[in-house]
A and B are shown apart, each in its own frame.
Chain A
């Protein structure tokens, strides 16, 4: 397993196999950012390629102050922002609030069930609802959810990638999770009734 420094040195020496490896090692994170921020599917291919072309051109300037993947994530995020700016789109879409809130004592009825079978059934139903609800979140919330929960990045790494203050990252993640929980419970209730 090559370290970031070894990989970068090989790429700088003109080893295109190393470059391919670099792309393959980091494209999951880049896809996480590009696919969430860029809603137009045709644009994603362009943006993703643009990210690695920029990285290739600026690799000499990479100072190893962060992980290579974090640096590429930063390029991906900024490239997406520039693309959205050109198209006059925002990463802060409106946050659709849950219609018809639930009474506090009704909200968690399903989670009071301790039976393991019930819990498994609930997990299965949640899975179906979750994707739809995540799709309704603003792109920036979707991106942060992906980076934190799927890529298991730390707040510091997310801060470095997005340039957002740590407090803002935490606050957005908190709101996104609360929104998801509320909307899923609401939909779950409606479907049960």
Chain B
């Protein structure tokens, strides 16, 4: 469409939500053969979209679900899986806490000196390492975002 014609978005709006169009847009479309032809194309499309065959399942869904419920297969499948996952997470947390906490507790008297005797280089190294990890994480997130946007477009 040329610059003077309303955009495709407006033409669709003209068919689907005419009240959202401005008076100028309505007047233009009403008097412009190109826009009328374009809106006719959209009108034909929306009519066809609404009259398409409705998707349906080719089996008795209600009977299948009721049979599963009657067999009580659902709770025995679902609940243990959730419980297992929760138990796994708890175990991981306990192991991490033990891995950090036990050495710290054993060497708690000398822990202060561990940090006081560290050189500035060490602190900068820790800081740089953390920065790199966070940076990589953000970069990965950004890449994923870009990927989704590219696919959408």
Contact residues in A for B151 (Cβ distance below 8 Å): 90, 92-94, 138
Q: Does A185 have its Cβ within 8 Å of any Cβ on chain B? A: yes
Provide the B46-59 mask, 1 if CB < 8 A to any CB of A, else 0. Answer: 11111010111101
Q: Does A160 have its Cβ within 8 Å of any Cβ on chain B? A: no
Which of these binds chain A: B62-70, B86-94, B104-112, B125-133?
B62-70
Contact B55–A31 (Cβ < 8 Å): yes
Interface residues on B, range: 35 or more
Q: Does A16 have its Cβ within 8 Å of any Cβ on chain B? A: yes
The answer, among B48, B74, B148, for a CB contact under 8 Å with A57, is: B74
A96 to B35, CA, bound (A): 25
**Binding site secondary structure of chain B:** helix
Contact B57–A112 (Cβ < 8 Å): no
Which of these binds chain B: A2-10, A44-52, A62-70, A81-89?
A44-52
Contact residues in B for A53 (Cβ distance below 8 Å): 65, 68-69, 74
A107 to B39, CA, bound (A): 12
**Binding site secondary structure of chain A:** helix
Q: Does B38 have its Cβ within 8 Å of any Cβ on chain A? A: yes
Q: Does B61 have its Cβ within 8 Å of any Cβ on chain A? A: yes
Q: List 10 A-B contacts (CB under 8 A).
A: A28-B55, A49-B68, A53-B74, A56-B65, A92-B151, A93-B151, A111-B44, A112-B37, A150-B49, A174-B9
Contacts A19-B65, A107-B41 supplied; 13 other A-B pairs, CB < 8 Å: A20-B62, A45-B57, A49-B65, A92-B151, A94-B151, A107-B38, A108-B40, A126-B44, A134-B52, A149-B49, A149-B52, A174-B8, A174-B9
Interface positions of A (Cβ within 8 A of B): 16, 19-20, 23-24, 27-28, 30-32, 35-36, 44-45, 48-49, 52-53, 56-57, 90, 92-95, 104-105, 107-109, 111-112, 122-123, 126-127, 130-131, 134, 138, 145-146, 149-150, 152, 172, 174, 177-178, 180-181, 184-185
